[in-house]
Amino acid sequence: MTIKEVSEKTGISIDNLRYYERRGLIPPVPRTESGIRNYDEMSIQWIEFVMRFKKAGVSLGTIREYIQLAIKGESTKDARRDLLIKTKAGIEEKMREMQETLDIINYKIDTYDQKCGPITNELIASWKVTPLYYFGMSTQIKAVIDRFHANNAKLAGNKKAMFLATSYGADDWTMEAFEKNYESILRFMNWDDAGKLFATGCPVREVIEQTNFPNKAYELGKSIQ
């Protein structure tokens, strides 16, 4: 087979096929009398061997070492076996690490599905419209802040805060003063902003439920790490 045919069959570029041979990652490819590469079945098998090892994360140095030992024949059989055993142990360790990561991902997915959804629905069900008195902080929210004011030292730093608010007004500037209050609290408490969501033009719960704001709130909650 020509190098073009091998490239089409394996999906490896012609440049990479030449590179693999030049670096000793595959044994020298047979050539015609005119010097043109003529890949035989054994050459194809070596290429597939290299690609499988590469996909498994085996270093090019290890692959080259094995190929060079194989070229020398039976006298290197024990050395090749030892190298394969070492490579196998490395792959198994990576598989264990990947499985641990996969377990964490599955746990996170299950947590979102089993916990975040119900909690978000519960929060949405309990939403109340809190009035913004002249576009500033309402007495209701101030009362909440007063509750944790005595514990500033415990609450300050290394935390994230999220700002979700609704309003009757739908103007672009409706939440400006309220947002500045929120930003001042973040600065004072040394918190990180995890996101803001302003549901303007939503005077009552029934209106909120007809918008996409609940879904946005859910996605915002999911984004917290």
Tell me the per-residue pLDDT of 100-136, one tens digit each, with 9 for 90 and over.
888 888 877 776 666 555 655 554 554 444 555 555 6
For residues 112 and 223, the answer to whether their CB atoms sit within 8 Å is no
pLDDT over 70 percentage in the chain: 81
Burial class (CB in 10 A: 0-12, 13-18, 19+), 177: middle
User: Is residue 209 very low, low, confident or very high in pLDDT (cuts 50, 70, 90)?
Assistant: confident
Nearest Cα neighbor of 135 from 60, 200, 69, 65 is: 200
pLDDT of residue 79 exceeding 90, the answer is yes
**47 and 133 fall within a common domain:** no
User: Is residue 5 very low, low, confident or very high in pLDDT (cuts 50, 70, 90)?
Assistant: very high
The domain in which residue 31 lies consists of 3-71
Last residue of a domain, one of 38, 56, 71: 71
Alpha-carbon dihedral angle through residues 25, 26, 32, 36, given to the nearest 10 degrees: -40
**64 and 136 fall within a common domain:** no
Residue 47, token pair as written in the block: 């290429």
**138 and 211 fall within a common domain:** yes
* CATH number, residue 178: 3.40.50.360
**131 and 214 fall within a common domain:** yes
- Which residues touch 79 (CB under 8 Å, ≥6 apart)? 69
**67 and 134 fall within a common domain:** no
37 phi and psi angles, rounded to 5 deg: -60, 135
Q: Does the global pTM surpass 0.95?
A: no
How many domains in the chain?
A: 2
* CATH number, residue 52: 1.10.1660.10
